[in-house]
Amino acid sequence: MATIHHVTLKPGKLELLAGWLPGRPWYVGQGDEAELAKVGGFRLDDPDGAVGIEFIVVTDWSGDEPVSYQVPLSYRGAPLDGADHALVGTTEHEVLGRRWVYDGTHDPVVVAQLLALVRGEAQAQDQSVSDTPDPTVTSFFGGSGGPGPIRSTRVTDGTYGTRLLVRTADAASAGARPGPDTELTVLLNRVLRPGEDDVAARTEQPLGYVSAAWLLPDGSTARDLFAVVDASPSP
């Protein structure tokens, strides 16, 4: 499991996000600088121990009403090839040195571990305490088995979220004669809405999902579906 270092980042995560968020298509605030407070989130472990993974929730107070956003982040010790467009910024870590911070939807390690979380093969971890699972993060997967390694991911930002078209190898066909790829659609809700995690009330049930909580301005806890997974329709 990843070790949490309680050190100062320069600049800090909220400083990086304050200038980055207003340029996103799903940002509903006004102006060029967000006024952010961290209000929730969780971490995932990279099996290889090389990439830090955090799903952070921040509330922006720059507008007339506070708005909460989910931002998956990856922290790397070197630039991620081909991901300059997804760079949130760089920061100096007192222990680990320079860290490159990316929008995690463009990082294959983050996407792979998110799918592992949906399938129950990974466990959400506390944001601030090492080696401590976060039981408030729940997931569901209604499929049988699971997809194999990720071959490609296409990322599309929309008005309220980010859609990932993830192409994976067929897990059942690993070996000398691989079968057809599997495609999954993953929708990440960027703008979080309290009470939107009631899957039973939906007309169509998703193949899988991740539900998590964050703090509202009045100190109460809200929940929403952070990610919804479905099989991509056949062409």
Residue of 223 and 175 predicted with greater confidence: 223
The pLDDT of residue 72 is above 90: yes
Q: What is the mean pLDDT of residues 165-170?
A: 84
In the numeric block, which tokens belong to residue 49? 């121990």
Hey, where are the domains in the chain?
A: 9-231
pLDDT for res 174: 41
Using a 10 angstrom Cβ sphere, with 0-12 exposed, 13-18 middle and 19 or more buried, the burial of residue 96 is: middle
pLDDT for res 79: 97
Q: What does the alpha-carbon distance between residue 128 and residue 106 come to, in Å, rounded to a whole number?
A: 24
Each as own residue / partner, the long-range contacts of residues 139-144 (CB below 8 Å, 24 or more positions apart, any chain) are 139/208, 139/209, 139/210, 139/211, 140/199, 140/208, 140/209, 141/207, 141/208, 141/229, 142/205, 142/206, 142/207, 142/208, 143/119, 143/207, 143/208, 143/231
Residue of 197 and 191 predicted with greater confidence: 191
Residue pair 109/74 in contact (Cβ under 8 Å)? The answer is yes
pLDDT for res 219: 93
Residue of 3 and 81 predicted with greater confidence: 81
Q: pTM value?
A: 0.90
